[in-house]
Structure 1
C-alpha cells in the first residue's frame, strides 16, 4: 500500500481545519495517509483546534510556530523536513479534497515511475456557499512528457494548476527543493515547472480532485496594481526556472523568447482594455507598457500595442462609447485580410 503525507499550513483558518482534515483522512480509502498541521502563529484559536483534531486521531501531527514565519517557510518545513512517505501533498487549511482524490493520484504515480507529480481538475467554490457537485469516478489518466508540458507553460505564460489538486513524488520533491521565498505569489507555478523539468506529469481524467475556496483572504490578487505585480511575479518565476534548470533545458533560449513575448502581450492587452472599460484612472497603463518593453524591446510591433495606440488617439473619455465600432472595424479588417490571403493562395 502506498503511503502519502499531507501538509496542511494554517494561519487563522482553524474554523476550516476539521472539514479539510476530514477530506484527507476519511474519504481516501485504501491509502495509508498521515497529516501534519502547521499553525503559523495564528492569533486566534487555530492551534487549539489543530491539537483537538490530533488528540482524536493518531494519524495527525501538529506543529505550532511561536513566531509567524510566512507561508513559504511553512510549506518548506512540512515538505522537506517532515514528509517521508512515498508521495506528498500540500493542502491549505481552507481548501478540501474531493473523495478519492489521493487514491486516484497515487494510482497514477504507482503505475508510472517516471511521473513526478499528478494533478487534476479543481472545483472553485465561493466562501459561504455550497460545495459544487463533484465527479468522483475517473475515466483514466494521461501522462505528459515533462518537457512537453513545460514548453506549453512557457508558450501560454500562465500556470494551469490551482494547487490543492497536486500530489508529488516525495523523492523528487526533495531533489528539487522547496518553494522559492523570492516568489511569494508565483512560487507554485515555478515549483510545478521545476518538477516537470525533471520528470513526466500525470493528469487524472474524468474526476474532480480538489475544492478551492474563493474568498477575500485568498493570496491571489485581483486589483489592478495586483495584476501588474502578478505579471512581474510570473516573469521572475519563468526566468527562475530557466536559471535553475539550465542544464536540463537545451531549448532554453526558445522558451525564454516564447514567454517574454507572451507576457508582453498580456501586459499590453490589460493596458488597452483599460481604455475600453473606462478605467485608465485606476489601471497603471504606463507601467504595463514599461513592463512590456522590459520583456520585449520590440514590443511596439505587437498587435496589442497598435490596439493600445489606437485607443490612446481616440481618448480615454471617448473610447468606452466607441468600443463596439472599433471592435467591429478591427474584425472587418481581419476578415478582409483572411479574404486577401485566400485570394492570393487561389491565384498561385
Structure 2
C-alpha cells in the first residue's frame, strides 16, 4: 500500500444518528491506486447511544473517553492515527464525491504546502444548500492569509476548518486542536496558517449540516465574553507562532 489517510471524527451522543450518512459519503470516496483510509471515531464521553450507530467496517476504530469537548476527543484519536495525512469529518457532515482525492492531490502535488481546505455548502434541514460568498481563488494560500481575513471579517475565516486535510507530522507538532470549549478547529487553522502555506480547492468538498442540536447553534457558542476570550487566545497563539524564528513547515 502506498499510503493511508486517517479520518478523525469527534462524537457526542445527540449527533450519533448522522453517522451512517457520514460513513456513506466516506465509503464512496475514490482514491488513487494504493491509497486507503482509516476512520477514527472518538466519543466525547462514555454513553451507550453512539456505538449502535458505528458501522461494521474493519477500517473503523471506535473509542470512548472522559468528556472534554471536541478538541480533546480529536486529539485523543490521534493516538490511533497511522496515516501520513489527517482529514477532519464531523459526525453530522458529509463529504462530496472526490473530496479526499482532491485533498490528497493538493498536498502530494505541492510538497511545500502543509494543509488543504475546500469549498463548503451549508446543508439546511429542508435539504437545500447555501454557499459562502467570500471563498478565495483556488490555489495556494500564503502564510498569514487566513489571519488577515479573519481579523477583518469579525473572526470569520476565508476557508472552513471543518474541511481540513493536514500532514500528520505538522498537526502533531502543533499539539493537535486547541484546548477550547469551541473554536478549537479555527485555532488550529490559524496556527497552521502561521507556520505553513495552505491550499484551497474551489470545488465543494463538504456538506456542512445545519440542525437544531448543532453545538455551534447553541446560545453558549455566541456568549460575548467567552467568544471574545476564545478569539483573543486564538489570535495570540497564531501571532506567537508566526513570530518564532525558524518555526516554519518545510517539506522533507
Q: How many residues align?
A: 236
Could you tell me which residue of structure 1 aligns to residue 188 of structure 2?
Answer: 191
Distance 1:243 1:14, change over 3 A: same
- Secondary structure at the aligned position of 2:244 is classed as helix
Distance 1:221 1:232, change over 3 A: farther
Distance 1:244 1:184, change over 3 A: farther
Give the TM-score of the pair, scaled to structure 2.
0.82
Could you tell me which residue of structure 1 aligns to residue 215 of structure 2?
Answer: 219
Is the Cα contact below 8 Å between 1:221 and 1:230 reproduced in 2? no
- Alpha-carbon distance in structure 2 between the residues aligned to 1:151 and 1:130: 33
Could you tell me which residue of structure 2 aligns to residue 76 of structure 1?
Answer: 75
RMSD over aligned Cα atoms: 2.7
Is the Cα contact below 8 Å between 1:4 and 1:32 reproduced in 2? yes
Could you tell me which residue of structure 1 aligns to residue 227 of structure 2?
Answer: 230
Is 1:240 the counterpart of 2:237? The answer is yes
Shift of 1:115: 0.8
- Secondary structure at the aligned position of 1:192 is classed as helix
Larger Cα-atom Rg? 1
Structure 1 residues 76-225: aligned runs within 5 Å: 76-78=75-77, 80-127=78-125, 129-130=126-127, 132=129, 141-158=138-155, 159-181=157-179, 183-205=180-202, 207-221=203-217, 223=219
- Secondary structure at the aligned position of 1:164 is classed as helix
Is 1:7 the counterpart of 2:8? The answer is yes
- Alpha-carbon distance in structure 1 between the residues aligned to 2:176 and 2:3: 23
- Alpha-carbon distance in structure 1 between the residues aligned to 2:217 and 2:62: 30
Could you tell me which residue of structure 1 aligns to residue 45 of structure 2?
Answer: 41
Distance 1:196 1:239, change over 3 A: same
Cα deviation per residue 1:155-180 (whole Å; 9 max; x = unaligned)?
Answer: 44522333321111111111111122
Q: Unaligned regions of 5+ residues in structure 2, if any?
A: 132-136, 248-252
Is the Cα contact below 8 Å between 1:47 and 1:64 reproduced in 2? no
Shift of 1:131: 5.4
- Secondary structure at the aligned position of 1:118 is classed as strand
Cα deviation per residue 1:269-321 (whole Å; 9 max; x = unaligned)?
Answer: xxxxxxxxxxxxxxxxxxxxxxxxxxxxxxxxxxxxxxxxxxxxxxxxxxxxx
- Alpha-carbon distance in structure 2 between the residues aligned to 1:156 and 1:249: 29
Cα deviation per residue 1:151-209 (whole Å; 9 max; x = unaligned)?
Answer: 3334445223333211111111111111221x22222222111111221110112x101
Identify which of structures 1 and 2 has the higher relative contact order when contacts are C-alpha pairs closer than 8 Å and 6+ apart: 2
- Alpha-carbon distance in structure 2 between the residues aligned to 1:244 and 1:143: 20
Is 1:24 the counterpart of 2:44? The answer is no
Q: Unaligned regions of 5+ residues in structure 1, if any?
A: 135-139, 251-348
Distance 1:217 1:248, change over 3 A: farther
Distance 1:71 1:146, change over 3 A: same
